Amino acid sequence: MDLHDFSLRQLREGLQKRDFSAQELTKSLLKRIHTLNPELNAFVTVTEAAALESAAQADARLAKGESGTLLGLPIAHKDIFCTADVPTTCGSKMLKNFVAPYSATVVERLAAEGMVMLGKLNMDEFAMGSSNETSYFGPVRNPWNTEMVPGGSSGGSAAAVAAGLVPVATGTDTGGSIRQPAALCGITGIKPTYGRVSRYGMIAFASSLDQGGAMARSAEDCALLLSAMAAHDPRDSTSHPAAASDFLRGLDRPLQGLRVGVPEEFFGEGLDPEVAAAVQAGIDQLAKQGASIQSIRLPNNPHAVSTYYVLAPAEASSNLSRFDGVRYTHRSSAAESLDDLYLQSRYEGFGAEVRRRILVGTYVLSAGYYDAYYLKAQQVRSLIREDFRRAFAEVDVIVGPTTPEPAFPLGAKNADPVAMYLADIYTIAVNLAGIPALSLPCGFTQSGLPIGMQLMGDYFADDLLLNVAHRYQQESDWHLARPNLKAGEA
């Protein structure tokens, strides 16, 4: 087995036993990135010099006998997290030349653990997209089949982890942006409970829905990373006071007596039969491990997508107002007046999907439309939350497909935004409720594309989701499958 296949636990053991140094590990992955990234386009920035520098520091600390859980381990960040002295583009021309003078809390925390950042990962522009095709820096390709999309918006993170360019990565999830690409790239990704992970320095798309999370090749690695990410942050008013937790504790609890709910609404029209079969097999596997399975209803789930596409654009239209051509953003050179400066800079700086959502969001907040759209959507949001509350009175975990279909070809849905929005039909309700959810691999299509199974839990049941996923991965090997990439020498 090569270093790029190692789990975090294996890498840590290797570093502790001096089988290899942090610098050797870093160099090995940088070499793999150089070989594979030109085709995958998962990284938008590779911070080679800084990575080698922090690897050297990690080696020095290791030599002194320090044994931090994540010390010397490589990571890359979705390019939505601000990184001091390294460009943060958010996948947009608008921020093409933006270098933040500060780092996101998540970035700071992981750097403080001694993790080595290899670079910044491609994403849909401002996290708006489900295929990674809205990025100003070009689409990311799916390592399992480079004609296919990796999912989005954390497509760069999912592809980089799946391709072994980095063992773990950060992602963000507003309507499925961690889970959907994790499913399409055959990795494990968790969107924690809203308020678990600080949003400070994480560029906002829709503040009430955005949540940072962990993406890795196993639930155990997700647990390791999330333990370092989750913490109360006084700089984020929506950060929860009890956000911190050790997610490794309890990871091995047996599934005996676990009550699993399967929502009827997740198995209706539009679900690919191969996906349905693989998820059903995954549920059977959980039953075999001691879980009791019961059917449940989430009656308002069918309204989730339309509710989301009112609320998320509304917040986005306001959140993206700061990108106005006045300070650190792209500024049009054609502008001849103040209004023109705004119009031209924003027209040139934002891509079509971002402009579409700003227009929708501006519309639904406008005088005369607010009550019919924004307020109504907030009411439906309460109903969706209520659905989950009722369900979790009866079950511990809800299980279903992460996506209605496996990875689709690049360009297949670009002409039809609604078809693209439906890629998140099973993931969006979770964000509206604020509960945690996780996607893990549960099979492959006949054409060899990964299939993801989604676990949803009650507020702050993140540890239970990781526990269930970990136990499942103890008894299955879907998560161990690797794409066949032409870089065997790396």
Binding region for other proteins (CB under 8 A): 80-82, 88, 90, 95, 98, 100-102, 104, 199-204, 206-208, 234-238, 314-315, 317-318, 320-324, 326-328, 338, 342, 362, 365-367, 370, 374
Give 440's DSSP letter.
Answer: E
- Identify which of residues 235 and 390 has a Cβ nearer to other proteins in the complex: 235
State which residue, 57 or 318, has the beta carbon closest to other proteins.
Answer: 318
- Measured distance CA(232)–CA(235) in Å, rounded: 9
Residue (17 or 327) nearer to other proteins, CB: 327
Residue 125 vs 405, nearer CB to other proteins: 125
The Cα–Cα gap between 462 and 193 comes to 7
Residue 189 CB, shortest distance to other proteins, in Å, is 21
State the residue for tokens 């049941």.
461
Residue 235 Cβ vs other proteins, minimum distance, rounded to whole Å:
6
122, 45 contact by CB (below 8 A) = no
Distance CA 63, CA 129 (A): 44
Quote the least distance from Cβ 110 to other proteins, whole Å.
16
How many CA atoms, within 13 angstroms, populate the side-chain half-sphere of residue 54?
Answer: 21
Q: Closer to other proteins at the Cβ: 69 or 318? A: 318
Helices 304-319 and 352-365 meet at what angle, rounded to 10?
100
Sheet holding 168-173, edge to edge: 43-46, 116-121, 74-78, 168-173, 211-216, 188-191, 437-444, 450-457, 397-401, 259-263, 292-296
Q: Distance (Å, rounded) from C-alpha 393 to C-alpha 368?
A: 39
Active site residue 153: yes
Of 7, 153, 157, 439, catalytic: 153
- Strands 437-444 and 450-457, by their bridges, are antiparallel
Report how far Cα 235 is from the mean position of its chain's Cα atoms: 22
Least distance from other proteins to the Cβ atom of residue 333, Å? 15
Q: Is 177 labeled as catalytic in the residue annotation?
A: yes
CB nearer other proteins, residue 347 or residue 370: 370
Q: How far apart are CA 40 and CA 149, in angstroms?
A: 10
Which residue of the set 21, 54, 78, 120 is catalytic? 78
Q: How far is residue 79's CA from residue 96's CA, in Å, rounded to a whole number?
A: 11
Q: How far is the CB of 448 from other proteins (least distance, A)?
A: 38
**Contact between residue 464 and residue 456 where contact means Cβ atoms under 8 Å apart:** no
Q: Is 337 labeled as catalytic in the residue annotation?
A: no
Strand, coil or helix: what is 422?
helix
**Minimum distance between the CB of residue 264 and other proteins, rounded to whole angstroms?**
31
- Nearer Cβ to other proteins (237/256): 237
Choosing from 54, 177, 227, 239, the catalytic residue is: 177
Sequence-distant (6+) residues with CB within 8 A of 271 are 401, 404, 405
Half-sphere exposure of residue 267: CA atoms within 13 angstroms, side-chain side: 18
In the complex, minimum distance from the CB of residue 111 to other proteins, in angstroms, rounded to a whole number = 16
Q: Which residues of 222-232 are buried (b: 16+ CB within 10 A; e: fewer)?
A: bbbbbbbbbbe
Distances in Å between the Cα of 87 and the Cα atoms of 92, 315, 349 are: 12, 25, 16
CB-nearer residue toward other proteins: 11 or 314: 314
CB of 207 to other proteins, least distance (A): 4
Residues carrying an active site annotation: 78, 153, 177
